[in-house]
Amino acid sequence: MTQVLPHCERCGSAIEAGDLRCPVCYRAVLQASGDREPSIRIHVLRCSSCGAAMEYRARVQSPQCAFCASVLKIEQQTDPMEQTEQYLPFTVDRQTALAVYRRWLSRQGFFRPSNLASAARLESLRALWWVGWAVDAKAVVTWTVDSNDGARRASWAPHAGELETVFDGIVIPATRGLSPVECAKLIPTYVLTSGVQPLETEGISAVRERFATSRSVARGRIVEVIARMAEGRIKGRGAPGIRFCNFHAAIHLRGLVTRRIAFPAYAIAYRYGGRLYRSVISGQDSACIVGQLPHSLAKLAVVIVLICAGLVAMGLIVGSGLLR
């Protein structure tokens, strides 16, 4: 069931719990002294290497970080600003993820070790939920830019305009455990409308990452992403020309709705040649797997030797032709 949120008295935008000002027009939110939420104290497991914060649950034995297999340390947080509102369910089970991982290792290219599938030793395969924001926004963007269109004898000509646009279903990762490249490949595989309430996931044994970003920092990151997407849209179809410089834009939000979502995935740690590697499988699409792979130094050396030998042979042929 969708939560009904109060709205700003001036612009009508949704006001979320903990907001001191409207996220769109920045009008101060008046709250009665009795409406203040009580202090919340929670325990999280913080990774000493990647900094990921995971929810502490007694039933989930997690002495190592599910993201990088480093040591976890327990810490206490007071009044967490960001709380997960919806969990996307797992549609890929553990056995399927394990089969996908083994098949993925056996189908790597020439520059990978020949015995990768047989010699790789599985360290751990853990189901986890990583966190991010799903954002819907309406914005009016006023912009100025220099482009090659209409420049005549000059290199650049100035242009300006206004764009009213809508951003639906923008996913902005808030995780510290996954890299931006991994998140970019995982995000398209998720169905954002399949989210369930936290209480519906109580029986699932999976590591749960927590938001480790304050509300003010989160809003700043959201606005930055919207600004980058607006720039791409303006340069793609709004501004004339094909070459641009000196782009400037002002973002005027007309509406902003943010959902805090946990995304399902399987984090796999495996060891090859004494070194630990990681791969990640989407919890809603078994065809999406991204990870780290070792290289075969012997095969790389053979290719380099063959290239050098070919260059030497070509040099000898060209040299003999010039001597004639």
The per-residue pLDDT for range 13-24, each reduced to its tens digit, is 777 766 777 877
Beta-carbon contacts of residue 72 (< 8 Å; ≥ 6 apart): 45, 46, 47, 48, 54, 62, 63, 64, 65
Best CA proximity match to 86, nearest among 173, 3, 177: 3
Q: What are phi and psi of 193, to 5 degrees?
A: -85, 0
More confidently predicted of 185 and 34: 185
pLDDT of residue 218: 77
Beta-carbon contacts of residue 311 (< 8 Å; ≥ 6 apart): none
Cα–Cα distance measured from residue 250 to residue 321, given in angstroms and rounded to the nearest whole number = 64
Using pLDDT thresholds of 50, 70 and 90, give the confidence band for residue 189: very high
* Cα→Cα distances 50→126, 175, 178, Å: 17, 10, 9
pLDDT of residue 190: 97
pLDDT of residue 151: 87
* Cα→Cα distances 15→26, 28, 34, 219, 254, Å: 11, 11, 18, 13, 14
Question: In whole numbers, what is the pLDDT of the chain averaged over residues?
Answer: 82
Q: How many CB atoms lie within 10 A of CB 134?
A: 23
* Cα→Cα distances 290→1, 153, 173, 221, 264, Å: 34, 49, 16, 25, 14
The per-residue pLDDT for range 55-92, each reduced to its tens digit, is 665 555 555 677 766 666 665 555 445 788 999 999 99
Instruction: Examine the pLDDT at 33 and tell me if it is beyond 50.
Output: no
Beta-carbon contacts of residue 309 (< 8 Å; ≥ 6 apart): none
Cα–Cα distance measured from residue 205 to residue 102, given in angstroms and rounded to the nearest whole number = 23
* Cα→Cα distances 289→189, 283, 284, 285, 294, Å: 11, 10, 11, 9, 16
Using pLDDT thresholds of 50, 70 and 90, give the confidence band for residue 29: confident
pLDDT of residue 263: 97
Instruction: Examine the pLDDT at 168 and tell me if it is beyond 80.
Output: yes
Q: Are 75 and 234 contacting, i.e. CB atoms less than 8 angstroms apart?
A: no
Q: Are 1 and 244 contacting, i.e. CB atoms less than 8 angstroms apart?
A: no
Q: Give percent of the chain above pLDDT 70.
A: 79
The per-residue pLDDT for range 290-319, each reduced to its tens digit, is 988 887 667 777 778 878 878 877 877 776
Domain boundaries, the chain: 81-293
Best CA proximity match to 135, nearest among 167, 166, 163, 176: 167
The CA-CA-CA angle for residues 137, 262, 89, to 5°, reads: 115
Cα–Cα distance measured from residue 1 to residue 86, given in angstroms and rounded to the nearest whole number = 11
In three-state form (DSSP H/G/I as H, E/B as E, the rest C), the secondary structure along the chain is CCCCCCECCCCCCECCCCCCECCCCCCECCCCHHHCCCCCEEEEEEECCCCCEEECCCCCCCCECCCCCCEEEEEEEECCCCCCCEECCCCCCHHHHHHHHHHHHHCCCCCCCCCHHHHCEEEEEEEEEEEEEEEEEEEEEEEEEEECCCCCCCCCEEEEEEEEEEEEEEEEECCCCCCHHHHHHHHHHCCHHHCECHHHHCCCCCEEECCCCCHHHHHHHHHHHHHHHHHHHHHHHHCCCCCEEEEEEEEEEEEEEEEEEEEEEEEEEEEECCEEEEEEEECCCCCCEEECCCCCHHHHHHHHHHHHHHHHHHHHHHHHHHHC
More confidently predicted of 237 and 129: 129
